[in-house]
Chain A
Amino acid sequence: YAFFSGRPSWRRKAPVNLTYGFFPGNFIDYIPRAEVEAAFRRAFGRWAAVIPVSFVEVEEYWAADIKVGFHGGDHGDGEPFDGVLGVLAHAFSPENGRLHLDTAETWALDFEKEQSPVAVDLESVATHEIGHVLGLAHSPVKEAIMYPSLIPRKRKLKLHRDDVEGMQLLYGSNPHFRLDSLLASETSSAARIGNVVDV
């Protein structure tokens, strides 16, 4: 894991509650809005499970701590999007809160429904960008959510130990989080790989 320069994070009195809202314009029209919102709810929930921070969706975009938006091309933040593939999304370090997804991408929640060869998994990218919004920079660990690239038609939803350790250094641990559950799952994956090799 890595942090942004100066190691910024959201400095609030505990318990930390952050609100998020969706930019009212430019919403993608080929996935129902409720499904996009549900995907973000799951993405936020993934991080909330490991740190003592909660996330609440609000209607008032401009008043939200975290502002999620679909934008295309030059959208006014000095980092224009570049069309299909290339840069998929970007986000800003704490406590800026902006999280932008490129409207030019073919976003997908279900690759059975979306057959495009360039479809990109929205929930995976949302989980990655929320990591930035909370203060994690890019990780060199390929399996980590915070690794900078994601190929089309690939889902990467599970937090890696590297993601969890980095985020918990910023915010502490969620009292309900058990590291051994993460380790157990990693061990079980390793055992399955081991079995295949043995065969």
Chain B
Amino acid sequence: HPPSSAARTSPWDLRSPSVGGAWAAFEGLVDAELGDQKTGVAELKRYLHRFGYLPSNLSDHRRVASRDGNNFTDAFDEVLESAVSLYQSKLGMAITGRLDGATVNQMMAPRCGVDDQNMRPQRRNSQR
């Protein structure tokens, strides 16, 4: 639905198509919950995987095989619910495991690329 002018007055509104933002599509996932099958959940899983909240060794039925091994399905499963809880805890938010507005808003915000589980930079070091 198109934005109303009243709701879109923030100068840095990440949901505005003119502003974009890599994770603007997450807005459509507000209130998605366990058991849902919703377009965009796979992208959210990729986000959570990238920042260290979803393990890379998920069983095959939870993700579609791909060359990079990171193509997730659109199913809101218990693993995602637990990843959302971990995300909320690491970001100092109320831990609900739900994709409430505050959580999705936080996920849409621009951020540092270092993961939140403190492992990736270590891996970079070993590559060096």
Contact = CB atoms under 8 A, between A and B. Distances in A.
Interface of A: 2-6, 8, 77-79, 81-93, 96, 117-118, 120, 125, 128-129, 132, 137-138, 140-142, 147-154
B38 interface: no
Given A86-B22, A152-B14, 4 more contacts: A91-B112, A93-B121, A96-B128, A137-B121
Interface residues of B, number: 33
A117 B12 CA distance: 5
Interface string B5-40: 000000111101011111100000000000000000
Contact of B91 (A78, A90, A140): A140
Given A5-B118, A87-B112, A148 B91 contact: yes
Main secondary structure of the interface of A (DSSP, over half): loop
Contacts of A79: 113, 120, 124
A170 to B, nearest CB: 14
Nearest to A128: B112
Main secondary structure of the interface of B (DSSP, over half): loop
A174 B12 CA distance: 38
B109 interface: yes
A132 B115 CA distance: 11
A93 B122 contact: yes
Nearest to A80: B113
Interface in B89-121: 89-92, 106, 109-114, 116, 118-121
Contacts of A96: 121, 124-125, 128
B111 to A, nearest CB: 4
B127 interface: yes
B110 A85 contact: yes
B112 A129 contact: yes
Contacts of B90: 138, 140
Contact of A92 (B18, B119, B121): B121
A31 B71 CA distance: 39
